[in-house]
Amino acid sequence: MKMAIFLALVHHPVLDRSGRVVTTALTNVDVHDLARSGRTFGVSRSYVVTPVALQQRLVHEMVGHWQQGAGSAHLRRAEAMQRVSAMPSLDAVRTDITQRTGRAPVIAVTAARWQPEGMKPSMQQPESFALWRQRIATAGDDAQPLLLVFGTGWGLAPEVLLQADVRLPPVRRDPHLLDAEAGDGPYNHLSVRAAAAIILDRLLGDRDAP
């Protein structure tokens, strides 16, 4: 191993359609997909971030269902779910990772439409997936862990971007492979489930295997 990879799915602070900072509700299928994709690609732990105590408890109950409850006969889902935790904030996630690994994580977000003033200089330009794949491949045992942060709703609020260290490029199709059809503009409206899966594959997948 070398670099440990973590995921966080943030329900607050995120934006709604009109750009206001809100708290979104937990979506069961997001938690399952995060667990399954994380487990497939070797992610150390996935965090569901919500300040709402009732929703944190819901995550605990979902995880418990697969560990001890009716779902525990389903070993693969249980295996995936045991690496999921609820956390009240991104700060709490950072603290947990620091305690687990001994180092504070590098916080990476995917390119946002919002670029608030005061972001770290390292956030001005996206860093390519190829660069990070290389960093993961060559990381030593003392490598800083990498925390990939995804936002629900209409994306992460500016205050999360101010905490982030690295911006990854947006996921798009290759414009050279298929021509755009008449009237089509660029379109990227992937679900957070799909975007997270693709980003894990871009960083960690065996995409060039025969």
Which residues sit at the interface with a copy of itself, rule CB under 8 A? 1-3, 5, 29, 32-33, 36-37, 39-42, 76-77, 79-80, 126, 128-130, 133, 136-137, 169, 171-181, 184, 187-191, 193-198, 200-210
Antiparallel, parallel or unpaired: β 5-10 and 146-151: parallel
* Cβ atoms of 24 and 153 closer than 8 Å: yes
Q: Give the nearer residue to a copy of itself in terms of CB position, either 2 or 60.
A: 2
| 178, two tokens | 């298929």
* Cβ atoms of 160 and 13 closer than 8 Å: yes
Q: Give the nearer residue to a copy of itself in terms of CB position, either 92 or 143.
A: 143
Instruction: In angstroms, give the least distance from the CB of 34 to a copy of itself.
Output: 9
179 dihedral zone (left: phi>0; alpha: psi -120 to 50; beta): beta
Instruction: In angstroms, give the least distance from the CB of 15 to a copy of itself.
Output: 15
* Cβ atoms of 15 and 179 closer than 8 Å: no
Instruction: In angstroms, give the least distance from the CB of 56 to a copy of itself.
Output: 22
Cα(136)–Cα(145) distance, integer angstroms: 10
Instruction: In angstroms, give the least distance from the CB of 102 to a copy of itself.
Output: 17
State CA 63 to chain mean position distance.
Answer: 18
Q: Give the nearer residue to a copy of itself in terms of CB position, either 88 or 170.
A: 170
Instruction: In angstroms, give the least distance from the CB of 193 to a copy of itself.
Output: 6
Q: Give the nearer residue to a copy of itself in terms of CB position, either 32 or 120.
A: 32
* Cβ atoms of 205 and 41 closer than 8 Å: yes
